[in-house]
Amino acid sequence: MITPRKIYTIVEETLLEGGRPVEPAARVALVAAVIPNPWHGQGFVEDLNPGIDETASAIGELLAPRVVEALGTTVEAYGKAAIVGLEGEIEHGSALIHTLKFGDHFRKAAYATTLLPAVEKRGPAGIVFDIPLKHITDATIRSHHQSIEVRLADAPHPGEIVIALAAAAQGRPQQRLAPLSTEQ
């Protein structure tokens, strides 16, 4: 198991939207682990599976219960991210989050059935990224299509990866789009 250098927990509550109260407050939680890139300094690695096997499940197991606990209520929407430091490949982040070994921990903790929407990106410490979120059982429910913007001032360092999970207790505040079925 790779030991994270840092773990961030962020909880956002929206109390007003469009000049109107949001009741109950719209709540989104994020937990991110800053880990060493398992392939850093090895040049081009053809077979990423050993690093996936050593890392993905353990990171998913670490983050999933933390984000559900931080949200403090039932998860209705969720998403994930992998932000790779400048000395890594985007594929390194993708390898860790696009496997059932990682994602199934969150799906089980959230009682979810859909694929987790994701963002992968490479950049310096402090890079801004958005984690997309969708409904946990039906990705066509438009009210739950949303995102959370994240910036971690001290991560990722060049040889690190930020792995993050985000959860929302509801759809967008004050959402009023008609269901997708009305356009079909």
How long is the chain? 184
To which H or E segment does residue 12 belong? strand 6-17
Share of the chain residues as helix, strand and coil, in percent rounded to the nearest 5 = 25, 35, 40
* pLDDT tens-place string over residues 89-125: 999 999 999 999 999 999 999 999 999 999 999 999 9
Domains of the chain: 6-183 (3.30.1330.110)
**Cα 162 from Cα 83, distance rounded (Å):** 5
User: Considering only CA atoms, which of 176, 171, 146 is closest in space to residue 74?
Assistant: 171
* pLDDT class of 181 with cuts at 50, 70, 90: low
What is this structure's pTM? 0.95
**Cα 125 from Cα 148, distance rounded (Å):** 18
Pairing of strands 20-36, 160-168: antiparallel
* pLDDT tens-place string over residues 1-48: 789 999 999 999 999 999 999 999 999 999 999 999 999 999 999 999
